[in-house]
Amino acid sequence: MDRRTFVKRTLSASIGLGALMKAGDVFSAFAGIPVPYDLVAIKGGEPDTMFDEGIKALGGMKRFVKKGDKVVVKPNIGWDVSPERAGDTNPKLVARIIQHCFEAGAKEVSVVDHTCDQWQRCYSNSGIQKAASEAGAKVVPGGTQSYYHTVSVPNGKVLKSAQEHEVILDADVFINVPILKNHSGSRLTMGMKNLMGNVWDREYWHRTDLHQCIADFATYRKPTLNVLDAYYVMKQNGPRGISVNDLVAMKSQIISTDIVALDVAGAKLFGIDPNEVRYIRIAADMKIGRADLENLNIKRILM
Partner 1 sequence: MTRSSWKRIKNLRVVVALTFLTLFTILFIDAWHLVPHEVTTVLTSFQLVPAILKAVFVGGAVTIAGVATIIVMTLLFGRVYCSTLCPLGILQDIIIRFARKVNKRKRFRYMKAPRWLHYSILAVSIVLLLFGSSMIIGDLLEPFSNYGRIVNAFVLPLVILVNNVVSDILTRGGVFFLYTVPLHVEGIGALLLGLLFFVTIAYLSVNEGRLFCNSFCPAGAILSLISKISLYKLVIVENACNDCGACDKVCKAECIDSSKKHIDFSACVGCFNCLRSCPKDAIKYEKRSISDIMTSDVDFDYDRRKFFKDLTIPAVTFLAVPGLVKGGGVIVGEKEPIVPPGSLSIYHFTSVCTACHLCVTSCPTGVLQPSLLEYGFAGMFQPKMDYSVNYCNYDCVTCGTVCPTGAIIPLDLATKKLVQIGKSVFHKDDCIVVSKKKDCAACSEHCPTKAVHTVPYENGLFIPEIDSELCIGCGACEYACPVTPNKAITVTANPVHLKAKKPKVEKAKPSPATTPEAFPF
Site string for partner 1, 248-267 (x = CB under 8 A): x-x-x-----------xx--
Binding to partner 1 by residue 235, rule CB under 8 A?
yes
Q: How far apart are the first and last CA of the chain?
A: 41
Binding to partner 1 by residue 211, rule CB under 8 A?
yes
Binding to partner 1 by residue 62, rule CB under 8 A?
no
CB 181 within 8 A of CB 272: no
Binding to partner 1 by residue 5, rule CB under 8 A?
no
Helices 91-103, 47-57: crossing angle, 10 deg rounding:
40
Shortest CB 198 distance to partner 1, Å: 17
Binding to partner 1 by residue 140, rule CB under 8 A?
yes
Binding to partner 1 by residue 245, rule CB under 8 A?
yes
Nearer to partner 1 by C-beta: 25 or 273? Answer: 273
Binding to partner 1 by residue 268, rule CB under 8 A?
yes
CA–CA separation, 163 vs 148, rounded Å? 5
With CB under 8 A as the contact rule, the residue among 242, 285, 287, 297 that binds partner 1 is 242
With CB under 8 A as the contact rule, the residue among 118, 150, 152, 297 that binds partner 1 is 118
**CA separation, residue 104 to residues 27, 41, 70, 154 (Å):** 24, 22, 12, 32
Compute how many residues bind partner 1; rule: CB under 8 A: 62
Shortest CB 38 distance to partner 1, Å: 12
Q: Distance between alpha carbon 275 and the CA centroid of its chain, in Å?
A: 20
CA–CA separation, 147 vs 145, rounded Å? 5
CA–CA separation, 97 vs 101, rounded Å? 6
Nearest to 196 by CA among 154, 164, 239, 227: 164
Shortest CB 148 distance to partner 1, Å: 11
Q: Which stretch binds partner 1 (CB under 8 A): 14-22, 61-69, 148-156, 204-212?
A: 204-212
Shortest CB 111 distance to partner 1, Å: 10
Nearest to 295 by CA among 256, 261, 248: 261
Q: Which stretch binds partner 1 (CB under 8 A): 3-11, 89-97, 98-106, 144-152?
A: 144-152
CA–CA separation, 211 vs 129, rounded Å? 30
CB 194 within 8 A of CB 206: no
Query: Which residues are within 8 A (CB) of 293 and not within 5 positions of it... i.e. 6 or more apart?
Result: 39, 261, 264, 265, 268
Nearest to 109 by CA among 146, 145, 64: 64
Binding to partner 1 by residue 81, rule CB under 8 A?
yes
With CB under 8 A as the contact rule, the residue among 10, 12, 144, 297 that binds partner 1 is 144
Which spans of this chain sit near partner 1 (rule: CB under 8 A)?
41, 43-44, 80-81, 108, 116-118, 120-121, 125, 138-141, 143-144, 146-147, 166, 183-187, 202-204, 206-211, 233-237, 239-240, 242-243, 245-248, 250, 252, 264-265, 268-271, 276, 278, 293, 298, 300, 302
